[in-house]
Amino acid sequence: MPEASALSDLPAVSPMHLRQPDMDALRPAFSTHKPRILILYGSLRTVSYSRFLAQEAARMLEYFGCEVRIFNPEGLPLPDAAPANDPKVQELREWSAWSEGQVWVSPERHGAMTGIMKAQIDWIPLSVGSVRPTQGKTLAVMQVSGGSQSFNAVSQLRILGRWMRMIAIPNQSSVAKAFQEFDADGRMKPSSYYDRVVDVCEELVKFTLLTRDASNYLTDRYSERKEEVEKLEQRVSLRSL
Domain coordinates in residue numbering, the chain: 31-239
Helix 115-123 crosses helix 152-163 at what angle (to 10 degrees)? Answer: 10
Q: What is the pLDDT of residues 61-106, one digit of tens each?
A: 999 999 999 999 999 999 999 999 999 999 999 999 999 999 999 9
- Mark residue 36 as left, alpha or beta (left: phi above 0; alpha: psi -120 to 50; beta: remaining): beta
| Fold topology of 31-239 | Rossmann fold (3.40.50)
Residue 238 CA, distance from chain mean position? 39
CA angle 42/46/50 to nearest 5° reads 30
Instruction: Check if the beta carbon of residue 178 is closer than 8 Å to that of residue 186.
Output: no
CA dist., res. 57 & res. 93, Å (int): 21
In the predicted model, what is the mean pLDDT of the chain?
89
pLDDT at 150 over 60: yes
- C-alpha distances out from residue 104 to 149, 200, 207, 216, Å: 18, 12, 16, 23
Q: What is the pLDDT of residue 44?
A: 95
Burial of 141 by CB count in 10 Å (0-12 exposed, 13-18 middle, 19+ buried)?
buried
Range of lowest pLDDT (26-30, 110-114, 169-173, 200-204) = 26-30
Please give the Cα distance from 66 to 128 (Å, whole number): 27
Give the pLDDT score at 240.
Answer: 74
Query: Which residues, listed in sequence order, are joined to residue 140 by a DSSP beta bridge?
Result: 103
What is the model's pLDDT at position 75?
Answer: 96
pLDDT above 60 (res 33): yes
How confident is the model at residue 4, as a pLDDT? 52
Which amino acid does the sequence have at 160? L
Cα-based angle 202, 118, 143 (whole degrees, multiple of 5): 40
**What's residue 11's pLDDT?**
62
Please state the rounded mean pLDDT for residues 31-52: 95
| Separation CA 195–CA 156 (nearest Å) | 23
